[in-house]
Amino acid sequence: MNKVLESFGLTTRDSLAGAEEMNVGRVVIVHGDSADVMWLGDDGLEVTSRCGLESGLNMVPVAGDWVGVRDGRVARVLARRSELRRPHPNGRDVQVLAANVDLVLIVVPVDLGLNSRLLERLSIIARESGARPLVIVTKIDRASDPTSLQEQIESDDAGVEVVLTSSVTGEGIEELRDYLPLGVTAVMLGASGAGKTSLLNALEGTDELTKDVGRDGEGRHATTTRKLYRLSSGGVLLDIPGIRLLEVMVDEEGLRQMFEDIEELALKCRFRNCHHRGDDGCAVELAVASGALSARRLETWREMQSEIENHDRLRDPATVRAQRKPSRTPPKGS
């Protein structure tokens, strides 16, 4: 395997079919009709440049995509082995955030308290993509008992791995590096202010990404573009801006995987089509009443189930036409 492409994150799981007689590269940032791409030049050396997109491109590229570059332009987006997705803000389409990701770092700041619903949504995004989710608790130097937060996260999402970190003291940073060896592409997800940029700085031992803003505008604290960083540990890390849209794209299978405890309880419900909303003989609601299942967790399940149903309705052409059809105002005097 080519060492330069390997440093971009290329693995044996990635297919370069379709890039014959082209230069292979990886997308760093997309700018509408162009993209910043790291690619392998004819001389075998690394090239990083702004590449236009050829007309008739087979799909719109995103950060993390492997592409074929021809005459300095992206000519082909290669097959993706994974897609990190969420609903598009228009409420109808799906937005791909990143491609070819192995590890999803869900960043949770200890000082803002645990937003369990957001955590569950981000966890579903990770599992839906086929990547491995890893919860990173940041800013633990500000908490007297950060392990209690870890226990709560593990209780809410059984099986998820958690790493406690501090960009100030360095605690947990080496442990995190162990998750990011050569051949691993990771992505950070978390709300704005979760400490993602500071975490990246701690991993690389730099403060360049959070230095004060100068008169020329350089050194802004907040991350405003998607960037792909090659880490000293060998892996690559994709930094995505804070997610403002909490709803995530899930399907029934993803919901079952995330809420296996509710699925098991549902097998004991009196009726097979129990909706767990006041139905007679509902074992799930009985578990909430007995304290075996948290009411908040059931409410989150209900919200996500409603999101799936709403998304399915929006994708139905008849429903969309009905919603767009203007109401008819009866004539005056009728």
Sequence-distant (6+) residues with CB within 8 A of 250 are 124, 128, 258, 304, 307, 308
**Cβ distance 298 to 262 under 8 Å?**
yes
Between 177 and 110, the higher pLDDT residue: 177
Q: How far apart are CA 249 and CA 238, in angstroms?
A: 20
Which residue reads 């290329």 in tokens? 10
Each residue's pLDDT tens digit, 189-242: 876 667 788 888 898 886 654 433 333 333 333 344 557 888 989 999 987 765
DSSP annotation of 318: H
Give the count of beta carbons closer than 10 Å to the beta carbon of residue 23: 19
pLDDT single digits (tens) 263-294: 999 999 999 899 999 999 999 999 999 999 98
Indicate the burial class of 271 (C-beta count within 10 angstroms; 0-12, 13-18, 19 or more): exposed
- Rounded to 5 degrees, what angle do the CA atoms 282, 285, 287 make? 110
CA distance 81 to 84: 10
The backbone region for 263, taken as left when phi is positive above 0, alpha when psi lies in -120 to 50, beta otherwise, is alpha
Q: In Å, how far are 8, 145, 250, 291 from 294, measured between CA atoms?
A: 43, 23, 22, 6
At residue 323, what are phi and psi to the nearest 5 degrees? Answer: -70, -30
| Confidence grade of residue 58 (pLDDT, cut at 50, 70, 90) | very high
| High-pLDDT (> 70) share of the chain, % | 76
All residues at 6 or more sequence positions from 243 whose CB lies less than 8 Å from its CB, including other chains: 86, 122, 189, 190, 191
| Domains of the chain in sequence order | 3-77 (2.40.50.140), 83-239 (3.40.50.300), 252-321 (1.10.40.50)
- What is the predicted pLDDT for the residue at 255? 72
79 neighbors 106 (Cβ within 8 angstroms): no
Q: DSSP readout, 252-281? A: HHHHHHHTHHHHHHHTTSSSTT--SSS-TT
The answer to which of 43-52, 78-87, 221-230, 267-276 has the lowest mean pLDDT is 221-230
CA distance 92 to 310: 10
Would you state the pLDDT for residue 144?
Answer: 83
Q: Determine the straight-line distance between the first and last CA of the chain, rounded to whole angstroms.
A: 78
Q: What is the Cα–Cα distance from 123 to 297, expressed in whole angstroms?
A: 14
Any idea which of 12-21, 78-87, 127-136, 141-150 has the lowest mean pLDDT? Answer: 141-150
Helix (H, G, I), strand (E, B) or coil at 95: strand
